[in-house]
Amino acid sequence: MSRLHMTTPRADGFRMPGAIEPKTGCWMIWPERTDEYPFGARPAQKAFARVASAIATSDPLTMCVSARQFKNARVMLPPHIRVIEMSNDDAWMRDVGPNFVVNDGSGEVRGVDWIFKSWGGIYSPYDWDDQIPRKVLDIEQLDRYRAPIVCEGGALQCDGEGTLITTRQCLLNPNRKVGNTDAQIEQALMDYLSVDKVIWLPRGCPFDTTDGHIDDLAVFARPGVVLLTWTEDSSDPQYEVSHEAFEILSRETDAQGRPFSIHKVTQPNPIEWTAEEAAEVDPVDGIAQRVAGERIAATYINYYIGNKAVFVPTYEDPNDSPGLAAIQACFPHHRVVGVPGCRDILLIGGSIGCITQPQYAGGKRV
Amino acid sequence: MSRLHMTTPRADGFRMPGAIEPKTGCWMIWPERTDEYPFGARPAQKAFARVASAIATSDPLTMCVSARQFKNARVMLPPHIRVIEMSNDDAWMRDVGPNFVVNDGSGEVRGVDWIFKSWGGIYSPYDWDDQIPRKVLDIEQLDRYRAPIVCEGGALQCDGEGTLITTRQCLLNPNRKVGNTDAQIEQALMDYLSVDKVIWLPRGCPFDTTDGHIDDLAVFARPGVVLLTWTEDSSDPQYEVSHEAFEILSRETDAQGRPFSIHKVTQPNPIEWTAEEAAEVDPVDGIAQRVAGERIAATYINYYIGNKAVFVPTYEDPNDSPGLAAIQACFPHHRVVGVPGCRDILLIGGSIGCITQPQYAGGKRV
């Protein structure tokens, strides 16, 4: 049974785990928007298939696919990937999927279903995406909380031990507040994730179309250990943002009172849309047109932490190897696996972290 | 993983269970065709919801629903029913769903995916329905066999001990043979259901639009025990068919060499479309129009055998009570539950058996 609870996860003893905790699987959505993705979305589909196949070596993977694309996805994905029909408006399971929360006492897992409004309303419609949490939880027969605030999973970095890092630019943006005060939003985050301390960075990465999701800027490797997208090029707009985040996090402590160990991961060299790519997106009224030279937020830390390995986007860039090495240094018990060709995911707005949703296993805290 | 096997269930040690064997759940499809079902399909939806709610007291129930109807179905069904988005062309899960087969040694369950061609092609398109077995098996992560013949589950009555009863009118109909000989079809049935003996009745019930599915005429209660739709009214076209089936089955033995114990279940009084109902179906080219006075095949034996109870359609007819009693007499270990208002399912072509697909549990034979 998948029941809707009118209480909060905190009241019922559930918490959002840290990303390193055990998972029963990973959820993704198959990309198909030809009005956002160039070349009929085919390069994006191939890149998603690479990511899914890589992750499936570590965690069971479920791909949600529209009716129209079901046959194509089923053929493009290996048979050990579960493919389920599910209507969608876009391909960002991190943002639209349920955030799974666990009860350390009973081992039960439930899902938090945030109000989804398409990253401040940049695309419409978004009704299908908003229904995805209830559909996923119904399939898995897990209970659900419908949270009273607008949020996307990419805006959240929890350590599983009481700390949340996020950005004001995103969650306190007027385009997401829907009548809530800042204090109400913070309280809802604390109640629905079971965190005791919210660290508000002022903003996320430039060139990120999500209004500064934290998961391109600063992410937990494990409690107390943060990876930070970095550049030493002071002419790059990323410079100021990364240095500002570093300063703030260096002075902060987590909910347990620990200072953060901060590891800088130098970003890839700037990645921009080409004229050919921009010309090969369906021109549709109401969607911002891509233009040649438009830069895309590109990082290595927008990764997926599986049970056995960490799957890191790579871009055929000289910074790929140092980036993988910097991440590997923070994961002594995981293989770090670079997934090639992630430029084709970036082009449409994110990377491996943005297209994956971990389903946590519950049970005793590790 | 849901793999496609190119072998046969028989070769791999799998068999189709008898309908009384243990189940892990029951699958249904939500009805919505306003070009087949009167009054915008609303009465049919209410009747399906009644059936689903009843069965869910015995077996976990999953309702597959099109994207367009998802929200409506989710509201009309209680929360303990699992609702999954799945495109469909119609609502007959018995006919289009996978037939689950079990391996008594390993306990593994797999699915047989017959070629589906819309009951001889009376409706089109039927592509969505033909994809349902692979989607169900992918969700459940069970392996699949794609059988080389056209078949619908409603054409099959297996006892789980080597016997199949079916009709020539249906499975040997030129509209289903697609180049196969009679012998090839019989061999495929034996190989994909693991049966040793096929009993071919010449025809099914009149007024049945499926070309005589066996599941309106003669069904197993358990091995050796058959329920037969009956009438003593020699002016009724059903009379000749029921008596013919009785004569044949009385002379036959099953695969184990046992004669059949045949129990006659008198059908309800004739049920016909009213003028108002016929007028309230969307008129669509290519689909036979219903007319006032058109009779519908109506039986009590088109039931669903759950783990704890048998769910029998009732029609607010004087024969309901004797029908329920006759069925109860054959099920000493199950409650027999009459589900009211099944005329609204009949109107669209079948009854409880036709809209349900049992998922067998596997494990040791009971």
Q: Which of B64, B158, B330, B354 is catalytic?
A: B354
Q: Tens digits of per-residue pLDDT, A289-306? A: 889 999 999 999 999 999
pLDDT over 70 at B366, yes or no: no
pLDDT over 70 at A365, yes or no: no
DSSP B307: S
Nearest residue of B to residue A136, measured between CA atoms? B84
Domains within chain B, CATH numbers bracketed: 4-360 (3.75.10.10)
The β-bridge relationship of strands A271-272 and A295-296 is: antiparallel
Q: Tens digits of per-residue pLDDT, A29-81? A: 999 999 999 999 999 999 999 999 999 999 999 999 999 999 999 999 999 99
Q: Is B125 on the interface with A (CB under 8 A)?
A: no
Q: Which of A9, A203, A25, A1 is nearest to A114 (CA)?
A: A9
Q: Tens digits of per-residue pLDDT, B240-293? A: 999 999 999 999 999 999 999 999 999 999 999 999 999 999 988 777 788 999
- Closest CB to B80: pick one of A1, A74, A80: A1
The average confidence (pLDDT) of chain B is 96
Q: Which long-range contacts does B39-48 make (Cβ < 8 Å, 24+ apart)?
A: B39/B277, B39/B280, B40/B280, B43/B344, B43/B347, B44/B91, B44/B344, B44/B345, B44/B347, B44/B348, B45/B72, B45/B73, B45/B76, B46/B76, B46/B341, B46/B344, B47/B341, B47/B342, B47/B344, B47/B345, B48/B91, B48/B345, B48/B355
ipTM attached to this prediction: 0.87
Nearest residue of B to residue A1, measured between CA atoms? B80
- Closest CB to B1: pick one of A79, A87, A135: A79
Q: Is A6 on the interface with B (CB under 8 A)?
A: no
Q: Model-level pTM?
A: 0.93
User: So what's the pLDDT on residue B105?
Assistant: 94
Q: Quick one: tokens of A363?
A: 């049970």
Q: Tens digits of per-residue pLDDT, A312-337? A: 999 999 999 999 999 999 999 999 99
> Quick one: pLDDT band at residue A364, thresholds 50, 70, 90?
low
Whole-number Å distance between alpha carbons of A105 and B229: 54
Question: Per the CB < 8 Å rule, is A84 touching B135?
Answer: yes
| b/e code A178-202 from CB counts within 10 Å (16+ = b) | eebeeeebbbbbbbbbbbebbbbbe
Question: Per the CB < 8 Å rule, is A1 touching B79?
Answer: yes
Q: Is A3 on the interface with B (CB under 8 A)?
A: yes
Whole-number Å distance between alpha carbons of B116 and B7: 20
Nearest residue of A to residue B143, measured between CA atoms? A79
DSSP A347: T
Q: Is the dihedral of CA A275, A279, A280, A284 positive or negative?
A: positive
User: So what's the pLDDT on residue B279?
Assistant: 92
> Quick one: pLDDT band at residue A366, thresholds 50, 70, 90?
very low
The predicted model gives B56-65 an average pLDDT of: 97
User: So what's the pLDDT on residue A124?
Assistant: 87
Q: Tens digits of per-residue pLDDT, B325-336? A: 999 999 999 999
Question: Per the CB < 8 Å rule, is A70 touching B135?
Answer: yes
Question: Per the CB < 8 Å rule, is B84 touching A135?
Answer: yes
Q: Tens digits of per-residue pLDDT, B185-230? A: 999 999 999 999 999 999 999 999 999 999 999 999 999 999 999 9
